[in-house]
Structure 1
Amino acid sequence: MKALLNSLFVTVFVFSFLGQKEPLKIDDFRDSLVLYTDVGFSTAPFQISYPYPTGFSKIQYKNNFRTIIGIGFAYKWLSFRIGLPLQDRIKSDVLYGKTKQLNFNADYSFKKYYIDLEFRSLVGYAIKDAYKWDSTLSSETPNKILPNASALNFGLNGYYFHNKQFKMPALIGRRSHYNGEVRSLSLRLSLNVFGIDNDHVSFTPIPLQLQNNSITRISRLESFEIGLIPGYVYVNRIKNWQFSGIMGVGGVIQAKYYSHDGISRGFLGLAPRFDVHLAGGYSCKSFFVFVLTDFDNKSLAFY
């Protein structure tokens, strides 16, 4: 069985005021008041894979996320941002239900190091295309709404960049940008706690459950993991256009468990991890416009 949690965050607008330039390959505006706003979204679908005897091998769970509007400022070492969700959700409430979402992010950069803290909680999911095995549904209302299904993720990540000219704040374009090409090896120390819970009700629909196999009756999955992800960083700037990326592949040690029918079982295991950050945009001395994407895949496997 495998549960996948994916996240995607897009920042589309950042605004700043003129500041002083520093040497090397970064123009830093830390001595000026920088105001910025962003528009983005974070989605966290997951899936459960298992060779069910009915012919189905994968059940997909989707959340109904909202667009987030963020407003913040940065000055010297101080940075503050507040994010507010828009009233309407991206998808239909009838088809995907209403997801309640809470996000918190904080980060800090010092010399060759960058620390990122993230907490995310979502409540309310829908099983996609559940009408294929649930006779109470139809092709017009194909999804099964699970209002109490939830997903939680807490992540603490520390990065080390071998090249001292690489700085993460300049990659995301919040208050600084590069003025040339920079390459660097990177190493990410990743600590995560994540899981899914359906309030003591099995995630697998009754028609697909096997009474002699407890995995098909799981109501909760959770994992604590720690690992290392080596990677490579590339940043370049051509005229006023900057583009960059971080790519990494590594592994983690997991302490994981699942619950079913009031019984919990735990295991130790290994899992692969990928680290992908892409960013690009236009910047000058008076404003920044950047687009950022962050892919974070997590998996749990029980055999």
Structure 2
Amino acid sequence: MENVRISIPEFDERGLTYEESFRIIVIMLNHELYYLKNLHPSEAIDDLDAYPLQVAQRIVNTAYTLHSIIERDKDYVVANIIVRSIADYISSFILIYNEADERKKVLRHYLYIIDGLQGRLNQLPENLFNDGQLVQAEYEALSKQIEEAKANYQAIYDFSIKQIRNLPNYSGHKAVIDKLIRKANWKFKSLTITNMDKNTLKWNDLYSYLNLKESSGFFSSLSEFVHGLSTSNLAFGKNNEIFEPVYSITISLMGKLREILDVVYSDDIKIIRPKMITALCDEGMPNHYVMDLLDSLKKSQRVKK
């Protein structure tokens, strides 16, 4: 990623560094989500106006973590791992929630939830064995926690399947959708392809939904950091310049998230836009950026007079 830098004219004109530009877009997104979640406060999985906002907030929180990893720890490898995860999150978000076909959106949404639940259910032990390292009271308490977690996950799992089978298009594509449920395949290509091996989008396919200048292969190449391949063990510097490309690509990713939110929540954005002025008061907002905006506003008012 060392040579990947994306210039943003608006920020360049104001003399902002990559780190400052990153802070601005993440803060703006955080405030936007705050007001959107006030309009849609539910956290229920069957509220498809509210639930995507929880996903988007997780992405923003991950971006804040990236900032800490860079500014506090100067960890180039972990920073690249986080960039890859942000790209995964956003491309998945676009595939699932930026979907004009409401039935397909609902189907992908619940399959996405099922996918996560399957992983959690598989991780929980069927029979907890006490090897003597736990006293009986601790063993019983742990067993109870596991059983309660299983019951909770299973209830959500069953509810999600029920919601899918209540969809208007379920009866017409029952055989394929039942296969999608078994595979928890939210990355399906079509409801007309019966062979599941040929009916799954690869991550490279999903990255194309980002529609950024970087090729899909660029984000896939970050797997060298995720999987600890040899190149990830090279000695990387800790100077600010080496992190500029990391900030640069993440600025583009977060810009894409904001662009998609503006599409998915277009009517709500019109309502909350005037409130977004609060972002300028955020303690993390670069002071000279705020002052520059205020100066520009004053000049425009003088011209009008």
User: TM-score when scaled to structure 1?
Assistant: 0.21
Q: Which has the higher helix share?
A: 2
Higher strand residue share: 1
The structure whose RCO (Cα within 8 Å, separation 6+) is larger is 2
